[in-house]
Amino acid sequence: MNMSVSKCRQNFHVEVEAAINKQINLELHASYIYLSMATHFGRDDVALPGLEKFYFDSSHEERDHAEMFIKYQLSRGGRVVFANIERPTKEEWSTALEAMEYALNLEKEVNDSLLKLHQLGSNHSDPHVTDFLEGKFLDEQVESINKLSHFTTKLKRVGDGLGVYEFDKELQ
């Protein structure tokens, strides 16, 4: 197969291109984890439809982020390289709080990756990639971390049982 070079590629360092491919994989991995969480909370023996919906929505959002990075990569003349998506290491959650804390840590991991990508773009004098990240991802990521932090605090406060049921109703 003949590997042609993109005609639109300009000031797009191969390290930035590779980091975007890693970010695509991380976003898909996060989507996969949230999908797993949604199915856990949707089970009849767990029956928390608000959390099920929240995690399904979160899964869709992460997949949308992956698609945004794919389209960006193509617009810059980069090549999208798909890697295996790591399966979730955990598929059972003993409490809603445990799952929410896991989600919070996942969002922090995604944020760290975005910040490293932003720094890489700066190091390679690529204002386009830094602007893309600032305009589409960084603020939203901080908001997500804040939202999940509030959710974990609420879940700690309400405890198990009826409190989780009431919290779940808020998410529906």
Query: Do 116 and 19 touch, CB atoms closer than 8 A?
Result: yes
Q: Is position 27 annotated in a ligand binding site?
A: yes
Question: Quick one: which of 119, 151, 139, 113 has its CA closest to 37?
Answer: 151
Alpha-carbon distance of 36 to 24, in angstroms, equals 19
Q: Is position 86 annotated in a ligand binding site?
A: no
Q: Is position 141 annotated in a ligand binding site?
A: yes
Ordered alpha helix ranges (H), the chain: 14-42, 49-75, 96-123, 127-133, 139-158, 162-171
Q: Is position 17 annotated in a ligand binding site?
A: no
Q: What is the largest CA-CA distance in the chain?
A: 62
Q: Is position 62 annotated in a ligand binding site?
A: yes
Query: Do 106 and 33 touch, CB atoms closer than 8 A?
Result: yes
**Running DSSP on this structure, what letter comes out for residue 46?**
T
Alpha-carbon distance of 13 to 19, in angstroms, equals 10
The CA–CA distances, whole Å, from 40 to 90, 125, 129 equal 10, 44, 36
Residue positions forming the annotated binding site for Fe cation: 27, 62, 65, 107, 141
Residue positions forming the annotated binding site: 27, 62, 65, 107, 141
